[in-house]
Amino acid sequence: MSKNRRVGSFSILLIASLLTVSALSLGCNNAADQRLAAGAKDAADKKPPINQQAIQDSLDVPVAKIDGGTLKLAEYSGKVLVVDFWATYCPPCVKQAPQLAALNERYRDRGLAVVGLTSDPKEDQSKVEEFIKKAGINYTIGYDNSWLSGAFLKGTEDDSGQPPIPQLFVIARDGRVIEHLIGEQPGRMQYLEKVVNEQLGSLR
């Protein structure tokens, strides 16, 4: 094989590897088998309409908390609420968690609340608890359930038939969803902070 052919073959392999890494970083599938969702970018580009009524109805659904007990998203009425659908097996979710903790630290005294809903199985609770400590998560973590997934995530399914994660929802003080972000996109957290800041500032 000539030197040029060897270089050409190496270049093709390198490009293929980079494309694979890029696809895996966009988002993850939250199916039970924990497969990565290659269609996360497509889901982000084709964001479905928000089902405000279904989400409103789900706010009173009990959510099991990691540390015991239950919560309802309706308890955060009057605050600007960021709801994060995530999991420890999802690399973009893991990357995002400390950033959400920093956002919560900066704005919670002004009326921000953050709730993370994990799709990790309950038998992996110790793994989730370990990650919470490692990432410095300072907001409430609960388990996702079918009621909430059906209300918030319906219509975002990728080619596997499952909704990719992470997915972030910003809920205004009156309970309306005012922003929905899917997958990992450039400038995502900066944009999220802008939305949160505007919401907090508009009702000061």
Collapsed DSSP state (helix, strand, coil) of residue 137: coil
Which of the pair, 30 or 123, is modelled with greater confidence?
123
33 or 96, greater pLDDT: 96
Q: What is the pLDDT of residue 89?
A: 95
pLDDT 10s digits, 25-82: 456 764 433 433 334 444 444 577 888 999 999 999 999 999 899 999 999 999 999 9
Question: Looking at per-residue confidence, does 147 or 202 come out higher?
Answer: 147
Distance CA 88, CA 98 (A): 13
Residue type present at position 41: K
- CB crowding 138-165: b at 16 or more within 10 Å, else e: ebbbbbbeeebbebbbeebbbeeebbbb
Asked whether residue 24 carries a pLDDT value surpassing 50, the answer given is no
CATH code at 3-202: 3.40.30.10
Mean pLDDT of the chain: 83
- In this predicted model, which residue has the larger pLDDT, 24 or 201? 201
**What is the predicted pLDDT for the residue at 95?**
95
Enumerate the H helices of 29-144 as residue ranges: 40-45, 52-58, 91-107, 125-135
Output the pTM of the full model. Answer: 0.79
Please give the Cα distance from 53 to 23 (Å, whole number). 33
CB 131 within 8 A of CB 94: yes
pLDDT for 156 beyond 60: yes
The answer on pLDDT for 197 being more than 90 is yes
